A and B are shown apart, each in its own frame.
Chain A
Amino acid sequence: MIALYRIMLRTSVTRGRLLAFIAGGALLDLIAYSIRVSDFANREVDGFALLDVAALALYVPVVVLVFSTSSLGDLAQDGTLVYVWLRPVASWKVVLVALAATLSITLPLTLIPAWLGALLAGVSDKVFWGMSVSVVLANLAYAALFTGFGLRVRHALIFGLGYVVIWEAGIASLGKGPAAISIRHYAESLFAHMGNQQAPGSAEADLWPSVIVLVALFAVGVAITSVLLSRQDVA
């Protein structure tokens, strides 16, 4: 399985993707630094808002979307999935390896700039750790969702961006109903509770339900993607 992990990692990690996201992370940190040096900003409140909106609600889902839709999706699109699918390995194991490959690149790509941003903005320890836990759990939930999405949907990147921008950032912010089926809603609620800050918009879920939902989304995502993979028509 380690050989498969390495191949999946090399398939999805390209220099262009890495450079683009490192630049995105650097931009986030630059804005965080501007909060620290600004005379008008409240470091705790504005730092939390920046990390919530820019890091948790935008940067994390986009980074995870790009890498997780390609982990199995690229193999399915270019016809190389056959070299994995036709082996006597349970589909859930293949999905877990794909997720491990995705997370081993998305976690550092999202956590490091978020940590640096928190330090540069000068937020409290509560906000720092709240953000860290939220980013990790959001990574898990988004990765499980988008891996299956990439496997089954052509142009998954475009549809995934539609989900992040139109659903999560738009429709889900309009009320509790649509927010309940948004990963962002639970990640932001968790961040707000742990950071002891006011949750933005409709993000009002309690602490433990938020944790449970994010972990459950990961488990359900793995299960659904495993079933999709086992029933996949392979080129």
Chain B
Amino acid sequence: MTTALLEINKIAKWYGEVVALSGVTANIGPGLTSLLGPNGAGKSSLIRILCGLTSPSQGTVRVMGRDPRSSGEVRKVLGLVPQQERLPPGVNAIEFVTMAASLQGMPHPEVAARRAIETVELDPNDSRHLSAYSKGMRQRVKIAQAIVHDPRILILDEPLNGLDPRQRSRMAQLFIRLGAEGRCVLVSSHVLEEVQELSSTVLVLAEGKLAAEGDFHAIRQLLDDRPHRIRLRSSDPLKLASGLMGSATVSAVQTAGDNAVIIDTWSVTPFRRRLPRLAQELNVRLLEVAPLDDDLESVFRYLVARRSP
């Protein structure tokens, strides 16, 4: 049985009237876990609570069995890449990461800092201030300060933001390696493709609630197995609509303005295969095929609605 290093029990967090998290329960063990959700879903609030940076309004969080808000032991084994971009002014990468190593009580802070900076493929001898770094370089400095003490638990809030595709891939490989070595690595992202690259266990957070959890393939399947809404513009919408009504792949059809028909389907791939042949049979010219709900926001909304009682 895998031991949960992070135990989240029915937590809620609100800021005045705004509910950021509501009734979230999850256990996270060693290995790589992704926290997927659109902006404003509550990912950063959950991460701040997990790190003890703020208290939940309701519920409890335990990190290795301890309260992260008050435990110094948790801080010894925890590394965090926060979401905010700002880094201290007037310092360079080696000074900043050395400070992190020194505060973690490392015996040779500068040696550890050099190693961490090299791990994220930056030059520890670069004397430029962090303010002169590109967004991607600053992001990697943030990762370096989080891994400098070789933490058992590593929490990264949107760590791939601002990285170019090559860097993103290299950092993703680093997170995969750190997770495979037995650390608990939690990576948040609002980009499905990033999570796909990490190929990890996934927690989907939407509107402050845990919308789904499982391995990436199960989540992908869940995202695909939902009603899709597609708008079809054609030369003869009424003829196309009547043809579509007899199709097994279509669950609902309605006409709309601008020569358009809107259909609902549970089997998007078979439908896409069938559609050109049907248009040809009906002698209808297709002008546009546009998915109406393929953005991640609507997918998450669907998942939340699906889980709600």
In the complex, are the beta carbons of A86 and B91 less than 8 A apart? no
Interface string of B96-131 (1 = CB under 8 A from A): 101110111100010000000000000000000000
Q: Which residues of B contact A87 (CB under 8 A)?
A: 75, 100, 103-104
In the complex, are the beta carbons of B86 and A78 less than 8 A apart? yes
In the complex, are the beta carbons of A7 and B103 less than 8 A apart? no
Most buried by B among A82, A88, A235: A88
Most buried by B among A1, A79, A83: A83
Query: Is B2 positioned at the interface, with any CB of A under 8 Å from its CB?
Result: no
Distance from A79 Cβ to chain B, minimum over Cβ atoms (Å): 4
Q: Which of these, A2, A78, A82, A88, contacts B105 with CB under 8 Å?
A: A88
Complex CA distance for A157 and B261, rounded to whole angstroms:
62
Query: Is A234 positioned at the interface, with any CB of B under 8 Å from its CB?
Result: yes
In the complex, are the beta carbons of B88 and A11 less than 8 A apart? yes
Q: Which of these, B76, B86, B95, contacts A6 with CB under 8 Å?
A: B95
In the complex, are the beta carbons of A4 and B99 less than 8 A apart? yes
Complex CA distance for A3 and B97, rounded to whole angstroms:
10
Query: Is A163 positioned at the interface, with any CB of B under 8 Å from its CB?
Result: no
Query: Is B84 positioned at the interface, with any CB of A under 8 Å from its CB?
Result: yes
Q: Which residues of A contact B95 (CB under 8 A)?
A: 3, 6-7
Distance from A143 Cβ to chain B, minimum over Cβ atoms (Å): 20
Q: Which residues of A contact B86 (CB under 8 A)?
A: 78-80
Q: Which of these, A1, A2, A79, A89, contacts B84 with CB under 8 Å?
A: A79
Query: Is A10 positioned at the interface, with any CB of B under 8 Å from its CB?
Result: yes
Distance from A124 Cβ to chain B, minimum over Cβ atoms (Å): 42
Q: Which residues of A contact B16 (CB under 8 A)?
A: none
Stretch at the interface among B48-56, B245-253, B276-284, B300-308: B48-56
Distance from B180 Cβ to chain A, minimum over Cβ atoms (Å): 25
Complex CA distance for A10 and B48, rounded to whole angstroms:
27
In the complex, are the beta carbons of B75 and A7 less than 8 A apart? no
Complex CA distance for A89 and B51, rounded to whole angstroms:
15
Distance from B226 Cβ to chain A, minimum over Cβ atoms (Å): 36
Query: Is A18 positioned at the interface, with any CB of B under 8 Å from its CB?
Result: no
In the complex, are the beta carbons of A83 and B145 less than 8 A apart? yes
In the complex, are the beta carbons of A1 and B75 less than 8 A apart? no
Q: Which residues of B contact A88 (CB under 8 A)?
A: 72-73, 75-76, 103-105
Q: Which residues of B contact A83 (CB under 8 A)?
A: 87-88, 96, 99-100, 145
Distance from B247 Cβ to chain A, minimum over Cβ atoms (Å): 53
In the complex, are the beta carbons of B145 and A2 less than 8 A apart? no
Q: Which residues of B contact A20 (CB under 8 A)?
A: none
